[in-house]
Amino acid sequence: MDDFVSLTQLVSNVAEAFTTTVFLPEKSRKNLYLKSYYSLGDSIIEDAIIPIGQGLVGLAAENNQPINLAPFKQDSRTLQFYSTQEDIQSFLAIPFAAGELNGVLCVDSKKHYSFTPYQQKILTGFAEQFSRLVAREEEIKQNQGNLEVGALYKVCQKIYSEKRKINILDTLSRPPLDLIPYDGCSVTILSDNNKKSFILRSSGYDDCNLSYLKIEQNNSLVGFVLKNNKILNYPDLKRERRKTFVFQSGEPDFSAKSFLGLPIRSGDQVIGAWSFTGKDSSQFQPRHVKIASLISLMAAAALAKPKISPEESTYV
């Protein structure tokens, strides 16, 4: 269970609340969104958005001051996260630091007409825990970003320092999973006359021999990438009514649900394609596309370099 959800449920139980909600600021810095909630009812608006400075929740965030209404005599829908009227007796909103802005912990009750000073002190302590959760998530994101940068540097450095082109393709066929979360990876090369294309290196397709498998340019996803010189990120292959082929019509079933393919270009000329399959839908996110694009550019530049030794042929 998500840490925010677990802590929200704990707060609700301790406070004997009807509903406990946690709001965090959006990246736009203008609104709060509902991060987590726990309620004994079924009228919570799960995608609730509250402008900062508007309503009780928005005012608590803007002014960085708790709001305690006891008894609560308003229509509960004015709180902007209830879809129907609920017989709320008391309401408490406690702001907490969430980056440069404030999030808000909200607790209401049908059982109690007020929250005692002792309860408020406990709930303020819980609000501080939510603030720590936000800070921890940001730290994890930052560390993940640092790890990605380090891994990306190593891959690009390895590619560009390789003296044989076949070694570049080896590296491309086995990128680190923390950069691109693939289940299958392949490198396709166009022949010198651009009339034929075939797989030269692959990984993750252990039960299939894909070496020198010919690509059907008019009947496959990799063929589309080669033919149109475009990146293709296909999030859900299984929704297609007809069979979608990755490489060619006679291929085995790879159990692929998502596909990412990128052209490898030398200037304006396509010289190959770098492709990935995933066994989960939407496996490749925009950041994976950006990372793969950068690596493919580096690979294309390295492949276009003059041969290091006279005995080296094009890709062997």
Is position 173 within any domain?
yes
Residues 259 and 171 in one domain: yes
Element (H, E) at 118: helix 117-161
Half-sphere exposure for 21 (CA within 13 Å, toward CB) = 27
Is position 309 within any domain?
no
Is position 311 within any domain?
no
Residues 67 and 11 in one domain: yes
> What pTM does this model have?
0.56
Q: Give the three-class secondary structure for 155.
A: helix
Residues 124 and 43 in one domain: yes
- In this prediction, residue 56 has a pLDDT band, given cuts at 50, 70 and 90, of very high
User: Which amino acid would we find at residue 287?
Assistant: R
pLDDT in tens, 256-309: 989 999 999 887 789 999 999 999 888 999 889 989 988 988 888 888 766 444
Residues 184 and 258 in one domain: yes
Residues 7 and 131 in one domain: yes
Contact by Cβ (8 Å): 179, 298: no
What is the 3-class SS of 207-265, one letter each residue?
CCCCCCCECCCCCCHHHHHHHHCCCEEECCHHHCCCCCCCCCCCCCCCCCCEEEEEEEE
Beta-carbon contacts of residue 198 (< 8 Å; ≥ 6 apart): 188, 189, 191, 212, 213, 214, 215
How far is residue 310's CA from residue 182's CA, in Å, rounded to a whole number? Answer: 36
> Taking every pair of C-alpha atoms in the chain, what is the biggest distance, in angstroms?
87
User: Which amino acid would we find at residue 126?
Assistant: F
Alpha carbon 11 to its chain centroid, in Å, reads 28
- For range 104-129, the mean pLDDT: 91
Is position 24 within any domain?
yes
Residues 83 and 129 in one domain: yes
Residues 227 and 114 in one domain: no
What CATH number should be reported for the domain holding residue 261? 3.30.450.40
Residues 185 and 241 in one domain: yes
Domain that residue 259 falls in: 162-303
pLDDT in tens, 215-249: 998 989 999 999 999 999 998 887 555 678 999 99
Q: Give the three-class secondary structure for 253.
A: coil
Sign for the CA dihedral angle at 250, 251, 253, 259 comes to negative
Q: Which of 26-30, 119-123, 310-314 is predicted least confidently?
A: 310-314
Number of domains in the chain: 2
- In this prediction, residue 1 has a pLDDT band, given cuts at 50, 70 and 90, of low
